[in-house]
Structure 1
Amino acid sequence: MTRIKTYIFLFTILFTTRLQAQNKYVIAQKGDGIIKLLQRNNLSPSKYRTAFIEINKNQIGKNDQLYAGVKYKLPDVKTNKEETKVKTTDKSKYPVRKYKIFGSTYDTIHITNNQLKSCVFYLVSGHGGPDPGAIEMIDNKMITEDEYAYDVTLRLGRELIRHGARVYIITRDNKDGVRDEKFLENNYSERCYPNKKIPLNQKKRLRQRTNIVNKLYKQNKKYKYQRLLVLHVDAFHPTKSIDLYFYHHKRSKTGRQLANNMKEVIRRKYDQYQPHRGYNGTVTYRDLHMISMTDPPTVFIELGNIKNSRDQQRLMQPNNRQLLAEWMTQGIIKDKLSKQR
């Protein structure tokens, strides 16, 4: 009996020690959000955000707010077969780069792998400059399409660069950078790459963007995988909630394939994080200027309905904007890997 008690005691010590070794605690710093804290500790927000919230739910404030000086538990690192294709590699083998366009908090990017090496992406967020796009009022504050589309675009650019891609931010704002606020203040300081004033006239504005994209496309003709991604936010009746939907050129098999790969990854993510919700995003062709007048294969993405309260959470919560960027990147990687088979 004494020997059995000894074994149980030893097992308890070993088991407890193993759990303690798995569970790492970190102290939140001023300005930390869940995404920033996870990234600083080399954990993918898209993979570990839900687990982090669950194990720390009693210490997280409204809208997933973290409190500076509070100790938080990090989730156990587990292998996820679905994520193995985009897993992080040894950072010592890859460079660290800085880009002012992403702002002082996010300007440093650790290249984690070369899965998108020799790939070129042109990222255009809708409207900008003198045109804010769709507008809605919430709590006597104005939210605008161009600011939220731009923030997701910047986050998408960072994710693509992390995987070795060459990225051109066509609609750009040297003042904003990536922002973690819920309400993104509207301004009119966006420019067109490299630093051109954006015209008020819509036709001139679209022609300006297509011209620079086509010029860069020709300059980068040695790269076989070049893609244009255009991000917008739609505006419908407030009762209409929409999922991300994708447009491509009618005759572009390449654009359609990329759109389908992005949609499929996002559909799986919704099934994973919101079971039984369903996903109604679509992939269709449409004759839009940014699709029909540009040379690279193009995917035009609508991120949500700015007037719908449910879609507003997708756009306004910084954690959700980051997840959109990560999921779209995984869809792009899926598309790129399919080209190599």
Structure 2
Amino acid sequence: MNYKKTIPPFLALFAMIQFGFSQEKYQTFVAQKGDGIVSVLWREGLQVDKYYQEFLKLNRGSIIDGSYLERGKTYKIPNSESSFRNMGRMINLSNQEDRPIFDTTKTAIKKRDSLLNNTVYYLLIDNFNADNFQQEKKNSKSNYQLATAMAVNLLAHGARVFLFENDKEEGVKLGDYVTAINQRYLKYQQDYQRLLVVDVGNGSLSASSIISVAHDQKSMEGKHFANSITKTFKSKKFRLNARQHEAEFLSNKTNVYLINNVLPALSFITVENQNKKTPPVTATEANKSKFANVITTGIQIDYSTIAMEDKK
């Protein structure tokens, strides 16, 4: 299961040049009531024993009695590749730059374990015009909420996660997503990387929704990834479309374009309403959370089983 797409050396070098000097300045935060050095490091996803002394050095002169933070004062956060701010990145497709997905002072992420260390996931939860591959902004709020729910879960288990945004009025094209994904794939090519493409259709997630899971038929990694997610949906009593054929899947030009152009192994999840005549109902927070949890569990199973197979 160690198959990787062959990467020309000059492309790997380009990726190193492109991202190798992008170390950003220290992130900062304004101390609020209840903030302490330990709680701040936990909130940022940083090991307390490793970064406590560095926090003290960075903020020398601004800490009261050796350990207390002054409310309303600005403090620096130690730079770490493994912090939540650096592990969860939002790629701006207008300029191909990225920023933290979450402001950790507003979004609580609790580090649960390191099961997904050395993994990278790209979550593509957008809609496209099949004729010109132009992004369609329908259900953008619902898509964003689902993507961030999944990102929180993955970060909690140690994964690196990339989401996408576009700050221009006009939609970007699918090729812009492919460029962003492939550039970062080259940077992290020593890690286990997967692209998950999710289409929630009209934005509705309910008990009557039917789930289809598909993959590139030529990719063993994609098949393993899709099978792990399918089994998890089954175990959680979701309704699955067992009749989708390869011809039907390949009739979607967006799917074919991604299969032919992205570097990481990928799987597709499509959500459909059973009764298309019924007006769509926006997915509730509970349904989004359940859906995100199922996918995260499938991702964990996929990686853990491959990791065990590689150790044999």
TM-superposed CA distance for 1:127, in Å, is 3.0
Instruction: Check 1:212–1:232 CA distance in 2 against 1; reply closer, same or farther (3 A cut).
Output: same
TM-score, with structure 1 as normaliser: 0.51
1:110 and 1:305 map into 2 onto residues whose CA distance is: 33
The answer to whether structure 1 residue 158 and structure 2 residue 152 are counterparts is: yes
Query: 1:74 is matched with which residue?
Result: none
1:155 and 1:311 map into 2 onto residues whose CA distance is: 25
Query: 2:199 is matched with which residue?
Result: 232
The answer to whether structure 1 residue 302 and structure 2 residue 270 are counterparts is: yes
Amino acid at match of 1:297: A
1:311 and 1:243 map into 2 onto residues whose CA distance is: 16
Provide structure 2 residue ranges, at least 5 long, that are not aligned to the other structure: 1-81, 89-99, 129-133, 203-207
Query: 2:299 is matched with which residue?
Result: 332
CA contact (8 A) 1:160 1:329 kept: yes
SS at match of 1:107: coil
Query: 2:211 is matched with which residue?
Result: 244
SS at match of 1:222: coil
Amino acid at match of 1:222: Q
Higher relative contact order (CA 8 A, sep 6+): 2
CA contact (8 A) 2:121 2:160 kept: yes
Instruction: Check 1:106–1:264 CA distance in 2 against 1; reply closer, same or farther (3 A cut).
Output: farther
Aligned length: 198
SS at match of 2:236: helix
Please tell me whether Structure 1 or Structure 2 has the larger radius of gyration of its CA atoms: 1
Residues 140-189 of structure 1, C-alpha deviations (whole Å, 9 max, x = no match): xxxx43332222111111111111101111x23xxxxxxxxxxxxxxxxx
2:261 and 2:140 map into 1 onto residues whose CA distance is: 21
The answer to whether structure 1 residue 108 and structure 2 residue 108 are counterparts is: yes
TM-score, with structure 2 as normaliser: 0.55
Provide structure 1 residue ranges, at least 5 long, that are not aligned to the other structure: 1-94, 134-143, 173-189, 192-196, 236-240, 272-277
CA contact (8 A) 2:222 2:266 kept: yes
Query: 1:219 is matched with which residue?
Result: 187
Amino acid at match of 2:259: I
Instruction: Check 1:333–1:205 CA distance in 2 against 1; reply closer, same or farther (3 A cut).
Output: same
Amino acid at match of 1:280: N
1:337 and 1:283 map into 2 onto residues whose CA distance is: 27
**Aligned with 1:256 (options 211, 223, 245):** 223
Amino acid at match of 1:116: L
TM-superposed CA distance for 1:293, in Å, is 1.3
**Aligned with 1:148 (options 128, 142, 146):** 142
Amino acid at match of 1:166: R
CA contact (8 A) 1:242 1:280 kept: no
CA contact (8 A) 2:212 2:240 kept: no
Identity of aligned residues (%): 23
CA contact (8 A) 2:120 2:159 kept: yes
**Aligned with 2:290 (options 323, 330, 335):** 323
Q: Name the structure with the higher helix share.
A: 1
SS at match of 1:231: strand
What do you get for the CA RMSD once the two structures are aligned? 3.2
TM-superposed CA distance for 1:101, in Å, is 2.9
TM-superposed CA distance for 1:250, in Å, is 2.0
